[in-house]
Amino acid sequence: MYKRSDKVAEAIHELVSGLLVKGLKDPRIGFVTITGVKVSDDIRHATIYYTVMGSDEAKKSTLHGLNSSLGFIRREVSKELRLRFAPELIFKYDESLEYGNRIDQLLKEIGGEEGDND
């Protein structure tokens, strides 16, 4: 059974993803993908996890653009989801994809070294 916070997290995920595609015009925001949303049980805080394609500079620029859009995004979330209180939003870069890619790379290197010994 879903908790209310889980349903709100899913709705925020869909809404913010849609805003990034068509609603935000900040040139600092690169090609962003929302990978997940975690909402506190009291629905006062929401952490939005994202990834972005590009260099470290693109990642920093995107975070600045997202943070400058927080007020607009928060108002849209409150309005669209009809919440009594708009949750405090925090954008956090999701490093799990980079970790996964690094692990894959290391496993391939190890597999290649073992193959050389045969």
Name the band, by pLDDT with cuts 50, 70 and 90, for residue 26. confident
Q: At residue 20, does pLDDT exceed 80? A: yes
| Domain range annotation of the chain | 4-117
Residue 113 pLDDT = 63
Rg (CA), the chain: 18
- CATH fold of 4-117, please? GMP Synthetase; Chain A, domain 3 (3.30.300)
Q: Please give the share of the chain, as a percent, with pLDDT higher than 90.
A: 54
Residue 65 pLDDT = 94
Q: Mean pLDDT throughout 65-88?
A: 92
Residue 118 pLDDT = 46
Whole-prediction pTM: 0.80
Q: At residue 117, does pLDDT exceed 90? A: no
Q: Mean pLDDT throughout 75-80?
A: 92
Of 107, 78, 95, 94, whose CA–CA distance to 12 is shortest?
78
Please enumerate, as own/partner, the contacts of 96-101 that have beta carbons within 8 Å and a separation of 24 or more.
96/35, 97/35, 97/51
| Residues 33, 43: Cα–Cα separation, whole Å | 22
CA angle 98, 18, 66 (to 5 degrees): 60
